[in-house]
Chain A
């Protein structure tokens, strides 16, 4: 075990996978000498050389398309998209090819590719640069969607992604990169997909989150305990596809209340899916309607005060919980 930040844990995973599997290679904008916009690939060019750590032109659809081709050609590419915002330019390649090739060829072809991207608001990067699209990717059958909240999960899930024969969309919240935690150094350490994590046990309400919102959920849970003597259980989904509803449902049956937290918009969002599944499977156990704490229904504004107003906060979570009692 060693304490490290999430960006370092991600780098360790990449390093170990590059060592383990000669077919693994990385490509993306500024990932070489610069080490990536969020310093995840720092030092990997020096260690593995320019064949395996490749800088690309600014052409998101191009590099995802070429990644699909490289996977078909027998390699295991990891494509870094600088941020999830630019993944919209590659959406067709991801959705219409990477996600569907296995199905459309009746299993003859598949696309073992890891697509990493930074996500989330809160950094004053405004409307076109602050997206939370985890739920969008989870919408498409054929993709796996991973969104770690802490360094150990980040490492274990990323290593697991390289062992998957499907395209894995691996989404990293920018606010989490600097987050520190204990990380196993065992090169065989993996975190299985589809296993939610109960980060905090509680009896009165279940707060479900993923990625950045998990930390807000934890802070809200602490506030509820201190100020209101309410015991909140916090569930970190870790992967949206596959989705571990069993853990969520088990928790809700225990607490009888559920609040879903995400940075994304509420309308048509992933929280709606969670809410529907809770209703389908635990309706009789609910003491209150499922609540969702999400961003306001606006593009993300730049000004700090406006951005605060648009994003969900731990106070919003506390308020949503209190409204259930």
Chain B
């Protein structure tokens, strides 16, 4: 472990170019990095046969962290999708929990080994678990929005899916429902260019998912999902407006899936290496670090220190989680019904 270096306290004052404080910028970098490093280790564990399945959000960290930071953590609901590790970290999941979830361990607070990895659910944190069937959570978000509206609770629900999932009826039904009733729901679509192997052209005839909002008389925006600051600046006003009763909002974050679809996928079968190399230059972590360094927000050593801290947390989490107990076989039988 690296010796703790005395750190300059971070300012909580808003920086005009960012609309974020130094502290928030540090958090952004920390969560994005933690998400990426955890995912790397998860893939490694899968390759070693220690984890059955990994699905990750590499390339989407800025889109996830920037959006989640625009919410009131623990008050606003999150109905995420399977790539949203970054969002869950912002919402309070730590590295150890993320690893328990991956390994399906007994003490995984998401599901105690029942759900697939990356199907996070935590009632106390207001994270709603999802089905493996894509886009179903968008309707749940609309329903939570309805409950909030009927009980005059000034909360917002942010729900996510990929662009491919917006072909499903559930997406359209959710938008329609939320718009008719002007519910406080942010439909946050992470367009990473792929639905497993299929490119956007095969999935939809419009250029942007955001274009679809018009059909439901819903406001929408497109944002560069590789730019965490831009994401925050776009999502935050939409969240504030929804909280004030301004109705639902669709935001499309254009990003790029840097990795294969999942640990089961071989992307060399459908993605040219050249394309990947081009996009790697826009890696959200690289862009963020370059910007805050160039702008002189943090000295290089501070950023290095965050990297070291994240490395250490991930290392510890893996080592610790591997030693945690599995559920006992008879644990499979409980919780089918709620006992009255």
Contact = CB atoms under 8 A, between A and B. Distances in A.
Interface of A: 29-30, 33-35, 37, 55-62, 85-86, 88-89, 123-129, 296-299, 301-310
Given A303-B326, A306-B327, A307-B332, 9 more contacts: A30-B196, A124-B53, A126-B114, A301-B113, A301-B332, A305-B329, A306-B113, A306-B331, A309-B333
A29 B196 contact: yes
B132 A85 contact: yes
A59 B196 CA distance: 14
A29 B168 CA distance: 12
A304 B105 CA distance: 10
Nearest to B329: A309
A302 B114 contact: yes
B111 interface: yes
* Centre residue among B53, B198, B327 by max chain A CB count within 10 A: B198
B131 interface: yes
Given A126-B114, A128-B131, A306-B327, A55 B333 contact: no
B301 interface: no
Interface stretch (B89-97, B115-123, B304-312): B115-123
A298 B332 contact: yes
Contacts of B198: 29-30, 55, 57
Contacts of A307: 332
Interface string B298-340: 0000000000000000000000000000111111110010000
A89 B133 contact: yes
Contacts of A308: 329
B77 to A, nearest CB: 20
Nearest to A82: B196
Contacts of B105: 303
Nearest to B161: A58
B164 interface: yes
Interface string B189-211: 00000011110001110000000
B131 to A, nearest CB: 4
B20 interface: no
Nearest to A306: B332
Question: 5 shortest A-B CB distances, which residue pairs?
Answer: A57-B167, A303-B113, A309-B329, A303-B104, A34-B197
B192 to A, nearest CB: 14
Interface in B258-276: 269-270
A62 B131 contact: no
A128 B132 contact: yes
Interface residues of B, number: 39
Contact residues of A: prevailing secondary structure: loop
Contacts of A299: 114, 336
B190 to A, nearest CB: 15
Contacts of A306: 104, 113-114, 327, 329, 331-332
Contact residues of B: prevailing secondary structure: loop
B176 interface: no
A78 B114 CA distance: 34
Contacts of A60: 168
Contacts of B117: 302
Given A57-B204, A305-B327, A127 B197 contact: no
Contact of A61 (B164, B169, B204): B169
B173 to A, nearest CB: 11
Contact of B333 (A57, A58, A296): A296
A56 B164 CA distance: 10
B296 to A, nearest CB: 45
Nearest to B51: A124
A54 to B, nearest CB: 9
Given A58-B195, A59-B167, A59-B169, A33 B329 contact: no
A85 B116 CA distance: 14
Contacts of A56: 202
A124 B326 CA distance: 14
Given A128-B133, A310-B332, A34 B270 contact: yes
B203 A302 contact: no
Nearest to B111: A302
A306 B53 CA distance: 16
B52 interface: yes
Contact of B330 (A297, A303, A309): A309
B165 interface: yes
A85 B165 CA distance: 16
B269 A33 contact: yes
7 contacts: A58-B167, A59-B167, A89-B133, A124-B52, A296-B333, A303-B327, A304-B104
A302 B116 CA distance: 6
Given A57-B167, A58-B195, A88 B133 contact: yes
Contacts of B133: 85-86, 88-89, 128
B333 A125 contact: no
A15 B113 CA distance: 42
A296 B334 CA distance: 11
Nearest to B106: A303
A120 to B, nearest CB: 15
B134 interface: yes
B205 to A, nearest CB: 10
A241 to B, nearest CB: 25
B115 A126 contact: yes
Contacts of A301: 113-114, 327, 332
Contacts of A127: 114-115
A88 B52 CA distance: 25
B333 A305 contact: no
A88 B133 CA distance: 10
Nearest to A125: B116
A55 B197 CA distance: 10
A118 B98 CA distance: 30
B101 to A, nearest CB: 10
A298 B53 contact: no
Contacts of B169: 59, 61-62, 89
A310 B197 CA distance: 33
* Centre residue among B131, B164, B197 by max chain A CB count within 10 A: B197
